[in-house]
Amino acid sequence: MTKKRIGLVGYYGFGNYGDELFRIVFEEALSSYELVVLHDVPKRPYFLEDKAKKVDAVDAILIGGGDLVIPFYWTDLYWEREYLARPVFICGVGVPTWGGIVESVVGRMREFFQHKNIKFISVRDIESKQWIEQNLSPHVPVYVAPDLACGLTLPSIDKTQDQKILGIVTRKQAFIDWSHINRLCDKALKLKFKIRHIILGTGLVGKEDHEAGLDWGFSEKEYIYSENHWDLTRAIGECTVLASMKFHGCLVASMYGIPSIVLIPTDKFKNFYKLLERPELVSHYNDPGLAERFNYHMASVHTLIRQQLRTKVADLLGALRTALQSELG
């Protein structure tokens, strides 16, 4: 029997580690459907063919996950009117609030979220739920579950090695003062840790992060840069402690049980670390006390918390499957 086709809408194909994990989670959870990324290229105009024709070629639209509900910027990718010709399912999205609100952008999203063809909405934290309900007033309930990547099947890791590893995940930033990260790494070296510099991206994003990471002149380190998402995931899983500028570096480390220090404390980091009950790990790469957050015996992320996160995401994906089956058969 021919599988129903679902058009995926999101930040796919750019090489951002977390967004590619979302696609893997959807592929695992929705294996009875054919999933196709709707846009053609990872840059404007995104679509090389007519959007309406591409929508006609699928049976439903699945938008998610990540920071897609952007109140201050219209992308021409996530909330296009043409998608509403099919049943639309929104799963695992978040609302970045650091850029303020542009009312014309919020107004366009409000029209989208209130359309009759919106069949399902879930967000990754209660703060995003509250923002969407207050500003977009959707006509369907807004479900809350942890970030979708918490439901990822992680590759097994051989932890028999004696060498302790401090992983450092960097990203492209306008300016980085490396002095506090250097102090952190100097402390780790004195405690007989190896330093592992991880470029947590592939494709366009990986190239940008790699070029930006070359500015970090710390010499005594191992360097990991790969086009394979599983190589990057294993590089995280082998660490003893991680310090990351990227959210999904911290998330994957945490789901392995690895304590991970936040280096860019945006909303999604703070909200996730509330779930982990580890606020002491939220820092900044410009924090003079960054090195003091690291020590030889750092507590792992508790197994019960990780199990709860996985279970909640599994329940959400089950609800998504039910909604899809109800609509598509």
In this structure, is residue 241 part of a structural domain? yes
Residue 19 sits in the same domain as residue 116 = yes
Residue 128 sits in the same domain as residue 67 = yes
Instruction: Name the H helices within the chain.
Output: 17-29, 51-56, 103-113, 126-135, 179-190, 203-213, 229-237, 247-255, 267-276, 303-328
- Return the closest-CA partner of residue 176 out of 208, 212, 205: 212
Q: Give the C-alpha separation, 247 to 244, whole Å.
A: 7
Contact criterion met (CB below 8 Å) for 193 and 166:
yes
Question: Containing domain of residue 43, as a range?
Answer: 5-144
In this structure, is residue 183 part of a structural domain? yes
CATH number, domain with residue 203: 3.40.50.2000
In this structure, is residue 298 part of a structural domain? yes
Residue 139 sits in the same domain as residue 175 = no
Residue 124 sits in the same domain as residue 191 = no
Confidence (pLDDT) at 54: 97
In this structure, is residue 200 part of a structural domain? yes
Residue 119 sits in the same domain as residue 190 = no
Residue at token pair 């979302």 = 22
Q: Give the C-alpha separation, 239 to 163, whole Å.
A: 9
Residue 136 sits in the same domain as residue 9 = yes
Residue 242 sits in the same domain as residue 293 = yes
Residue 288 sits in the same domain as residue 211 = yes
In this structure, is residue 315 part of a structural domain? no
Residue 17 sits in the same domain as residue 127 = yes
Question: Residue 24 contacts by C-beta under 8 Å, 6 or more apart in sequence?
Answer: 152, 229
Residue 80 sits in the same domain as residue 204 = no
In this structure, is residue 25 part of a structural domain? yes
Structural domain count, the chain: 2
C-alpha distances in Å from residue 62, one per residue of 69, 273, 283, 321:
14, 27, 34, 11
Q: Fill in the amino acid letter for 131.
A: W
In this structure, is residue 72 part of a structural domain? yes
- Return the closest-CA partner of residue 127 out of 97, 165, 170: 97
CATH number, domain with residue 114: 3.40.50
Residue 101 sits in the same domain as residue 177 = no
Look at residues 114, 144, 174 and tell me which one is the last residue of a structural domain: 144
Confidence (pLDDT) at 174: 87
Per-residue pLDDT of the chain (329 residues; tens, 9 = 90+): 799 999 999 999 999 999 999 999 999 999 999 999 999 999 999 999 999 999 999 999 999 999 999 999 999 999 999 999 999 999 999 999 989 999 999 999 999 999 999 999 999 999 999 999 999 999 999 999 999 999 999 999 987 668 899 999 999 998 899 999 999 999 999 999 999 999 999 999 999 999 999 999 999 999 999 999 999 999 999 999 999 999 999 999 999 999 999 999 998 999 999 999 999 999 999 999 999 999 999 999 999 999 999 999 999 999 999 999 999 98
In this structure, is residue 30 part of a structural domain? yes
Residue 199 sits in the same domain as residue 136 = no
- The pair of structure tokens assigned to 191 is 């405690």
Confidence (pLDDT) at 159: 77
